[in-house]
């Protein structure tokens, strides 16, 4: 088939009075997948349990089937037309075979896009893989095949590759897929046996272990698209130029990634157009050559990296919520979608030790490439979602969102005045640098510093479990200061309009006082988009709810009045 097909909008792709024979196309006519300018259409349809690709001509409004091709995929897009956008689907969007089918329909409902698809592992596969690895460490090799998590993963992926409702002929793509997925599941079982034998699970092994999730989901999805007649090509990110640091479980993407990824995807697209289906979350360590991961939720970063690398028009991040919400809906169910955000605001939504809506680093490539990011709900595609861009109209904006980070460690460090002010600050930060620990929120006076430790680095190094490492930090600091280590604290970040920070603070403190909460530290970052308040863990959720109802559920004073007042 020609490479000049393009899929049209289902609504206008085929005349209403279509005379496609009913025995061929049942009422379950699914999606129109390709179209060429000479008025011939390729249609993917489902009849009973069968997937069919039709090629029809629709000259003069009459539709005649000119070819019924059940097993050959049609080319997608025109070679001379470049890829247009990235669509990233998270685990919640592709939690089952049925969901994969819905996501495929969703992709096909954007007729003018030539997308790169980034997929996460199906559902909770990453969590299950990690749990299986941890259990394997303390289990006998002979018991590994009985691990509940392994059975769950095997069952989920076996079921998905069969994609109920689609009969595949012998020697078709389906059998290639069966063998590939079977191969992955076998290697996974061997890996878990290896962990059980060695009785250790290093960070490097952890990354290899979780990579099975994305490697399998993308293979299943690409095979499914091909089966319904949409030509797709699967890619493992670590094979196409995603070069990272060797910080296993929390690797950073290196600059070399951008040209390498662009070259590979563009060249393949130009020579043989097929929708790229790329594994999210994964990379290759530049020194070790081993598989790395970008930190939990890292597929968002994969998507924005591809967007920047290819200079695409838009990055779409499809989730299970109606966009970025005014706060975490698990904390407060009345959270509402935020229609517009700037990259700076979105970057401040990061949350290392809780499940944030966007990966903490994912805004960087989008901002650098100035590519709009749209956060959408794959369960509710009609919801407008959130559009994230460089600038937005801030004239009516006060508070945008509230982020809660729980279980944070805080240090109060008071100088013993052995060093001058500059010397003191420099020494404190050099201690953190030497120990490889990043700090998150900081507030200083001439002789004291209060700070919270950035849990992302602590977690990746598993320092949280190793209290001795924290003791070591304190020991080092005690050479120059009196140190108070405070645990079980929460950071409440108020992301809002810089121009209205006094209004935000006034309101926030009024609410906190009314709730009898004592703020232990306050900091406004250099970006000024974020005001952070540190409170005790056990007061935090109540604070978020109270702040939410004040800022988002009741009327704020007229902004003109605020402007003249501040
Ligand atoms: N401010 C927020 N806005 C939207 N979702 C949030 C927010 N804070 C936390 N979340 C949580 O983030 C989830 C979506 O992120 P994630 O699970 O990483 O999605 P996916 O796996 O689909 O990429 C939501 O289901 C919600 O529970
Ligand atoms: N599967 C990985 C990467 C990822 O981005 O997932 P999700 O898009 O489902 O948050 C994780 O669970 O962390």
Distance from the alpha carbon of residue 333 to the mean position of ligand 1, in angstroms? 13
In this structure, is residue 241 part of a structural domain?
yes
User: Which pLDDT score is estimated for 432?
Assistant: 85
Q: Is the CB of 336 under 6 A from ligand 1?
A: no
For ligand 2, atom 4: residue with the closest CA: 297
Same domain, 46 and 157: no
What letter would DSSP give residue 61?
G
338 contacts: CB under 8 Å, gap ≥ 6: 323, 324, 325, 326, 386, 400, 401
Q: What is the pLDDT of residue 352?
A: 58
Q: Which of 87, 90, 320 to mutate to test the pocket of ligand 2 (most atoms within 8 A of CB)?
A: 90
Supply 38's token pair. Answer: 């000479």
Is the same domain home to 190 and 289?
Answer: yes
The model's pTM is 0.81
Strand ranges for 27-139 from DSSP E: 31-36, 40-47, 50-57, 64-69, 85-89, 115-119
Whether residues 53 and 162 share a domain: the answer is: no
Atom nearest to 402 CA in ligand 1 = 1
Q: Whose CA is nearest to atom 15 of ligand 1?
A: 357
Q: Is 348 in the pocket of ligand 1 (CB under 6 A)?
A: no
Tell whether 245 and 276 lie within a shared domain.
Answer: yes
Q: Which residues contact 263 (CB under 8 A, 6 or more apart)?
A: 241
In sequence order, which ranges of 138-283 are alpha helices (DSSP H)?
Answer: 148-162, 173-198, 203-227, 257-271
Question: Which atom, in ligand 1's list, is nearest to the CA of 300?
Answer: 23
CA pair distance 2, 424, nearest whole angstrom: 70
Same domain assignment for residues 115 and 170:
yes
Same domain, 19 and 163: no
Q: Which CA distances in Å does 336 have to 318, 383, 554? A: 17, 12, 13
DSSP state of 499: G
DSSP helix/strand/coil, 33: strand
The candidate with the shortest Cα–Cα distance to 452, out of 433, 437, 467, is: 437
Q: Which two tokens stand for residue 295?
A: 């930190």
User: Tokens 């490492």 correspond to what residue?
Assistant: 469
Establish if 65 belongs to a structural domain: yes
Write out the DSSP string of 324-337. SBSS-TTT-TT--B
What pLDDT, on the 0 to 100 scale, is given for residue 355?
A: 63
- pLDDT for 294 equals 97
Assigned domain for 124 exists? yes
Q: How far is the CA of 256 from the centre of ligand 2 (A)?
A: 23
Q: Are residues 121 and 63 in the same domain?
A: no
The last residue of a domain, from among 274, 290, 319: 319
Atom of ligand 1 nearest to the CA of 296: 18
Residue 137 counted as domain residue: yes
Is the same domain home to 263 and 137? Answer: yes
Q: Is 356 in the pocket of ligand 1 (CB under 6 A)?
A: yes
Instruction: Kindly state whether residues 16 and 56 are assigned to the same domain.
Output: yes
Distance CA 303, CA 364 (A): 11
Residue 357 CB–ligand 1 contact under 6 Å: yes
How much distance in Å is there from the Cα of 355 to the middle of ligand 1?
7
What pLDDT is recorded for position 447? 80
Distance between CA atoms of residues 32 and 178, nearest Å: 27
Separation between Cα atoms, residue 348 and residue 174, nearest integer Å: 44
Cα–Cα distances in angstroms (integers) from residue 286 to residues 222, 238, 488, in the given order: 28, 10, 37
Residues present in the chain in total: 566
Cβ atoms of 3 and 20 closer than 8 Å? no
How many domains does the chain contain in total?
A: 2
* Residues with C-beta less than 6 Å from any ligand 2 atom: 90-91, 120-121, 126, 213, 280-281, 296-299
| Residue with token string 């024979």 | 21
* Residues 163 and 273 grouped into a single domain: yes
Respond yes or no on whether ipTM tops 0.95.
yes
d(CA 314, CA 308): 10
Burial class (CB in 10 A: 0-12, 13-18, 19+), 170: exposed
| Mutation pick for ligand 1 pocket among 280, 317, 319, 400 (CB with most ligand atoms within 8 Å) | 319
For ligand 2, atom 10, name the residue with the nearest CA.
297
CA of 349, closest atom in ligand 1: 1
Which ligand 1 atom is at minimum distance from the Cα of 324? 3
Q: Which residues have a Cβ under 8 Å from the Cβ of 332 and sit 6 or more positions away?
A: 544, 545, 548
Write phi, then psi, for 81 (nearest 5 degrees): -90, 125
- Report yes or no on 198 lying in a domain: yes
Q: Is 321 in the pocket of ligand 1 (CB under 6 A)?
A: yes
Give me ligand 2 centre to Cα 298, in Å: 6
Show Cβ contacts of residue 253 under 8 Å, excluding neighbours closer than 6 positions.
242, 243, 244, 283, 294, 301, 305, 361, 365
Each residue's pLDDT tens digit in the chain (566 positions)? 333 333 333 333 343 333 333 333 333 333 343 433 344 454 544 443 344 445 555 444 444 554 444 434 444 444 457 999 999 999 999 999 889 999 999 999 998 899 999 999 999 999 999 999 999 999 999 999 999 999 999 888 877 666 544 444 444 555 566 677 889 999 999 999 999 999 999 999 999 999 999 999 999 999 999 888 899 999 999 999 999 999 999 999 999 999 999 999 999 999 999 999 999 999 999 999 999 999 999 999 999 999 999 999 999 999 999 999 999 999 999 999 999 999 989 988 876 555 678 998 999 999 999 999 999 999 999 999 999 999 998 888 899 999 998 888 899 999 887 666 667 888 888 888 887 777 888 888 778 889 988 665 554 444 444 466 778 888 889 988 999 989 899 999 999 887 888 889 999 999 999 999 999 999 887 667 889 999 999 999 999 999 999 999 877 655 555 444 43
Question: Which ligand 2 atom lies nearest to the CA of residue 296?
Answer: 13
Q: Is residue 463 part of a domain?
A: no
The residue nearest atom 9 of ligand 2, judged by CA position, is: 91
Rounded-to-integer distance, Cα 164 and Cα 97, Å: 8
Q: Give the number of the ligand closest to the Cα of residue 351.
A: 1
Residues 168 and 298 in one domain: yes
Which residues form the domain of 27?
Answer: 10-69
Is residue 137 within 8 A of residue 199, CB to CB? The reply is yes
The CATH number covering residue 154 comes to: 3.40.1160.10
The reply to whether 105 and 49 lie within a common domain is no
Mutate to test the pocket of ligand 2, among 216, 292, 298 (most ligand atoms within 8 A of CB): 298
């Amino acid at each position: 088939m020609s490479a000049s097909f393009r899929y049209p909008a289902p609504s206008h792709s085929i005349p209403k009075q279509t005379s496609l024979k009913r025995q061929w196309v049942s009422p379950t006519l699914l999606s129109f997948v390709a179209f060429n300018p000479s008025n011939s259409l390729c249609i993917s349809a489902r009849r009973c349990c069968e997937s069919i690709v039709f090629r029809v001509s629709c000259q003069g409004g009459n539709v005649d089937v000119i070819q019924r091709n059940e097993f050959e995929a049609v080319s997608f897009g025109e070679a001379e037309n470049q890829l247009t956008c990235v669509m990233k689907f998270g685990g919640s969007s592709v939690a089952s075979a049925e969901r994969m089918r819905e996501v495929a329909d969703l992709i096909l409902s954007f007729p003018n896009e030539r997308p790169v698809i980034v997929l996460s592992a199906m559902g909770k596969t990453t969590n299950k893989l990690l749990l299986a690895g941890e259990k394997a460490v303390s289990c006998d090799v002979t018991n590994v095949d009985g691990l509940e998590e392994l059975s769950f993963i095997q069952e989920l992926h076996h079921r998905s590759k069969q994609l109920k409702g689609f009969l595949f002929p012998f020697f078709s793509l389906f059998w290639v897929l069966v063998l590939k997925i079977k191969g992955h599941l076998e290697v996974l079982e061997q890996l878990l046996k290896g962990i059980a034998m060695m009785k250790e699970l290093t960070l490097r092994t952890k990354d290899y272990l979780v990579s099975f999730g994305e490697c399998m989901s993308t293979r299943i999805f690409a095979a499914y698209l091909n089966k319904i007649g949409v030509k797709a090509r699967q890619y493992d990110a670590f094979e196409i130029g995603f070069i990272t640091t060797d910080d296993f479980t929390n690797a950073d993407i290196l600059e070399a990634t951008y040209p390498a990824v662009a070259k590979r995807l563009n060249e393949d697209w130009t020579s043989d157009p097929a929708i790229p289906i790329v594994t999210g979350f994964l990379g290759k360590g530049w020194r070790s050559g081993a598989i790395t991961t970008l930190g939990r939720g890292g597929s968002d970063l994969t998507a924005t990296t591809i967007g920047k690398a290819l200079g695409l028009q838009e990055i779409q991040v499809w989730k299970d919520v109606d966009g970025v919400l005014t706060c975490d809906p698990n904390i407060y169910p009345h959270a509402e979608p935020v229609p517009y955000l700037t990259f700076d605001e979105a970057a401040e939504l990061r949350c290392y030790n809780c499940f944030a809506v966007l990966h903490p680093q994912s805004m960087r490539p989008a901002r650098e490439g100035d590519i709009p990011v749209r956060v959408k709900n794959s369960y509710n595609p009609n919801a407008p979602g959130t559009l994230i861009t460089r600038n937005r109209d801030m004239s009516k904006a006060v508070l945008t969102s509230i982020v809660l980070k729980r279980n944070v460690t805080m240090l109060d460090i008071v100088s013993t005045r052995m060093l001058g002010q500059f010397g003191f600050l420099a020494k404190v930060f050099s201690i953190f640098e030497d120990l490889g620990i990043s700090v998150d929120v900081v507030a200083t006076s001439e002789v004291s510093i209060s700070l919270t430790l950035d849990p992302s680095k602590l977690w990746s190094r598993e320092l949280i479990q190793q209290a001795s490492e924290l003791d070591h930090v304190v020991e080092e600091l005690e050479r120059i200061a009196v140190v108070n280590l405070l645990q079980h604290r929460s950071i409440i970040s108020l992301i809002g309009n810089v121009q209205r920070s006094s209004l935000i603070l006034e309101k926030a403190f009024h609410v906190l006082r009314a709730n009898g909460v004592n703020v232990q530290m306050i900091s406004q970052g250099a970006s000024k988009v974020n005001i952070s308040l540190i409170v005790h863990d056990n007061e935090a959720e109540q604070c978020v709810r109270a702040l939410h109802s004040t800022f988002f559920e009741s009327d704020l004073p007229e902004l003109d009045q605020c402007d003249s007042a501040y």
